[in-house]
A and B are shown apart, each in its own frame.
Chain A
Amino acid sequence: DTAVSQTPKYLVTQMGNDKSIKCEQNLGHDTMYWYKQDSKKFLKIMFSYNNKELIINETVPNRFSPKSPDKAHLNLHINSLELGDSAVYFCASSPDYGLAGVKTQYFGPGTRLLVL
């Protein structure tokens, strides 16, 4: 059973289109994340949700909008795609972010987005 899954695995689209990437975790975790890995393999956090509530929102363009319908899902919608959005997007989850300390984050396989 896949712990953190993402769909699609590959996404090729034209500039200006709107696309969504879905993420689901079956680990019962409370916190989910989106990371972006650019062409130089640099990984940077974009968003984090805890129990469907946004808790981290890094300096990401408004064209990116995360949506969490329930704590097992965190989807990423991207409007008006630009060439610079081409990257690998990773979803991750962890038990919680609470005061007991940081818990391990488990990553999905990634979605490779190519904007033409």
Chain B
Amino acid sequence: AQSVTQLGSHVSVSEGALVLLRCNYSSSVPPYLFWYVQYPNQGLQLLLKYTSAATLVKGINGFEAEFKKSETSFHLTKPSAHMSDAAEYFCAVSDLAGGTSYGKLTFGQGTILTVHP
């Protein structure tokens, strides 16, 4: 069984400050990992994904995440926050296809990012 834990349901940063959103996963097989962003009253948009290639993954809007197998983590970072980054962020894990999960995504609880001027 897979699971995802996002540490901190709310993160607040000042504009221009570092953004760090934490995600730890549990998976019995090598995972595929994703970060999605949800703006108010909108659907989910893919930020980036890890699929066993480079461990440092760059996504849209200046976000990046590093896969650390030893720590079972996939934390999301951005060097300098913008007001437009305010949204809810979801980490998700999916196992390799071919198992019984058939590529379904298991999501974390979400982290609301607030950016102060």
Contact A41 B46 (CB under 8 A): no
Q: Number of A-B pairs whose CB atoms are under 8 Å?
A: 64
How many whole Å from A5's CB to the nearest CB in chain B? 10
Instruction: With CB as the reference atom, state the residue of chain B lying closest to A103.
Output: B103
Interface size on B, residues (CB 8 A): 26
Contact B103 A42 (CB under 8 A): no
Interface size on A, residues (CB 8 A): 30
* Interfacial chain A residues near B104, Cβ < 8 Å: 33, 45, 48, 56
User: CB-defined interface of A78-116 with B at 8 Å, one 1/0 digit per residue?
Assistant: 000000000000101010011111111111111000000
Contact A97 B103 (CB under 8 A): yes
* Interfacial chain A residues near B105, Cβ < 8 Å: 45, 105
Cα of A47 to Cα of B106 in the assembled complex, Å: 13
Any B CB within 8 A of the CB of A44: yes
Cα of A47 to Cα of B46 in the assembled complex, Å: 20
Assuming the contacts A43-B90, A90-B43, asked whether A102 and B51 have C-beta atoms less than 8 A apart, the reply is: yes
* 9 A–B contacts, CB within 8 A, in A order: A40-B109, A42-B109, A45-B105, A55-B102, A90-B44, A94-B103, A106-B46, A107-B44, A108-B43
Residues of A in contact with B (beta carbons under 8 Å apart): 4, 31, 33, 40-45, 48, 50, 55-56, 90, 92, 94, 97-110
